[in-house]
Structure 1
Amino acid sequence: MLANVNATRMELLRLQKRVALASRGHRLLSEKRDEISRQLIKIARDIQPLRQKVENELSQTFRRFMLARASMEPEHVKAALAVPTKKFSMTMEFASVMNVKVPRLLKEIEGQILCYGYATTSGEMDVALLSLERAFDLLIELAQKEKQARLLAVELQMTRRRVNVLEHVVIPEIHETIRYIHDKLSEAERDNTSRLMKITDIIRK
C-alpha cells in the first residue's frame, strides 16, 4: 500500500490536513459518544422504577375490576362501560439529543373516565377506572422512555464504531503514511546533498 504513495511534499501537506480533520472528527465523535452514554444512563435509571409502577398499577386495576364485577350484576357492568365519555388522542413530537431525534408523546384528553350513573355501580368500579387512567398515563411515559433508550442505544453503537475506526485504523494509517513520506523525502534530500557535494568536489578539481 505504501509503495503506491506519491512521496511528495504536496501529498505530505494533504495528509497532514487529513489527519488534522480526522483527529477533530474523532474528538467530536468521542464527545458525542460520552454525552449519548450519559443520556442513556439517565433514561435507563428512570425506566426500571417506572416499569415497576406500571406493573403495580395494572395489578391494582385488575384486582379492582375483579372486585367490581363481584359486587355488581353482569348487565350493570356491561351497561356502565357501554358508552365511554372520555376521548383520547395522541400526537408525537421529536426532540434532538446529540443530533438523535427522540420522540415525545403528547396526549390530549377530553371528558371524564367515570361515564355512568352511581345507582347501579359500586365504588370499586370507580376506583378501578381511575386506577386504569393512572396506569395509562404511566404506560405512555414508559413507552416514550423505552423508545428513546432504543434510539440512543443504536446511535451509541454506531458512534462507538466510528470512533474505533478513526482511532485504530484511519488515524494510525495516515500517520504511518506521513512517516513513510518523511523518510522518503529525507532520503531524497540526503541523496541530493551527496550529489551536490560530489559535483562541488569535481568542480574544485
Structure 2
Amino acid sequence: MAMDAEDQMQFLYTLRSKGVTDARTLSAMEKVDRGMFIQGLFAERAYEDMPLPISCGQTISQPSVVGLMTQALNVQPRDKVLEVGTGSGYQAAVLSYLARRVYTVDRYARLVREAQVRFNQLDLANITAMAIDGSFGLPDQAPFDRILLTAAAEDPPGPLLAQLKTGGIMVLPVGQSDTVQSLIKVTKLESGLEYEELRSVRFVPLVEGMGQE
C-alpha cells in the first residue's frame, strides 16, 4: 500500500498538529513511506497516528512520536547517529535523510534482516544495521553526535552516555514501568548533563541480551 497525495497531506497535517514543526524533520518523514515498514493485517492502518505490531512482539512507533523524537534529536548533516532498537527500520530510515551516517542495532536478528531489506529497497546506503545487544551501545564506532533509544530504560544507560560526544544529544524514554514513561532529551555539556522532559510516552522496555526469534 503506497501513500497517495491525500494520505500524505493528512499525514503531515497530523504531525504538525501534534507538535512536529521542524521543517527538516517533516521533509524527512515525507520521504519515507511508513507503509513499506508494516506488513499483513495492519498495512491499511500505516498512515494513522498509532503504534502497530511488528515481528518479534515489538511495535512500530506512532508517527507523531517518531517526529517528536527526531525533532528533539536535532540531527545535523555531518552527524553520526546511533539508534538502539531498529524495530521495523522506520525511524532509522527517517534519520538517514538527516545524518551523515546512521548505525542502528537491535537484539532481534530477524528485525535487523527485515529492516535491511527495506533499506536496500529504498537505496539508503548510509545506514549500518547490526544484530547486537544495544544496551552496551556500539563502542567500536563511538563517539556519536546523537543517540536515540526506542526502548525505555529506568535511567539513561551509562555505556551510552559514555559514547555520546560532548555537545551531543540523546533522546530516550525513561520509566520504571510500561505505564509511566517520559520522553527525555539529554544534552552532554562540558559541565555535565542537562535534562529536558518532553512528553509522556509508552515504549517496550530496554532489555539486555539477544532476543530469541
TM range (shorter): under 0.3
- Of Structure 1 and Structure 2, the greater helix share is in 1
Larger Cα-atom Rg: 1
Q: TM-score, normalised by structure 2?
A: 0.19
Q: TM-score, normalised by structure 1?
A: 0.19
- Of Structure 1 and Structure 2, the greater strand share is in 2
Greater RCO (CA < 8 Å, at least 6 residues apart): 1
